Amino acid sequence: MTDAPASPAPKKPAGKRPAPQKSARRRSRELALQGLYEWLVGGAEAGVIDAHMREQDEFRLADSAHFDALLHGCIREAAALDAVLARHVDRKTTELSPVEHGVLLIGAYELAHCIDIPYRVAINEAVELAKSFGGTDGHKYVNGVLDKAAAVLRPSEVQARR
């Protein structure tokens, strides 16, 4: 045995925390966004996209019911959701990047149909999707558009908050 001191444990970088675990709903949003991207860019059928997304390893960690609602609901109601978004965007929704368009569809769908999710959470989750998958400042655009859409889709909740 030696009397030499044990080497010190490696230090963690200051200010760095481990990334929090993604919730099942966040994973379902990410997978739905990937599916919507495939639909917007390639025009694949919803059933084909659904099957493809379910083959992904991370699908087992997702909220499958929320994924189903988002993917199929956004595709089924794309025209109606685009009509809501059209009042708040600066160009046709077909001219948006497919990522931002998909994120806006998900955000608008959750605002319109997922009343159990507070409107600020729905907007924040869309912003986080845009930060992860979109362009440099796409999250700012998404935030502004969905904030205006929330005032139309959930007027009493937005008014109560302000």
Q: The domain spanning residue 37 has which CATH number? A: 1.10.940.10
- What pLDDT sits at residue 12? 52
Question: If you average pLDDT over residues 105-114, what whole number do you get?
Answer: 98
pTM of the full predicted structure? 0.86
Amino acid in position 28: S
| Residue 123 lies in domain | 24-161
In a domain, 7, yes or no: no
In a domain, 3, yes or no: no
In a domain, 8, yes or no: no
Using 50, 70 and 90 to split pLDDT, how confident is the model at 17? low
In a domain, 32, yes or no: yes
Question: If you average pLDDT over residues 65-78, what whole number do you get?
Answer: 97
In a domain, 121, yes or no: yes
In a domain, 75, yes or no: yes
- What pLDDT sits at residue 114? 96
Question: If you average pLDDT over residues 127-132, what whole number do you get?
Answer: 96
In a domain, 2, yes or no: no
Core vs surface per residue 125-151: b (16+ CB within 10 A) or e: bbbbbbeebbeeebbebbbebbbbbbb
- Give the chain's domain count: 1
CB-CB contact of 153 with 108 (8 Å): yes
Using 50, 70 and 90 to split pLDDT, how confident is the model at 7? very low
CA angle at 140 for the pair 77 and 157, rounded to the nearest 5°: 60
In a domain, 5, yes or no: no
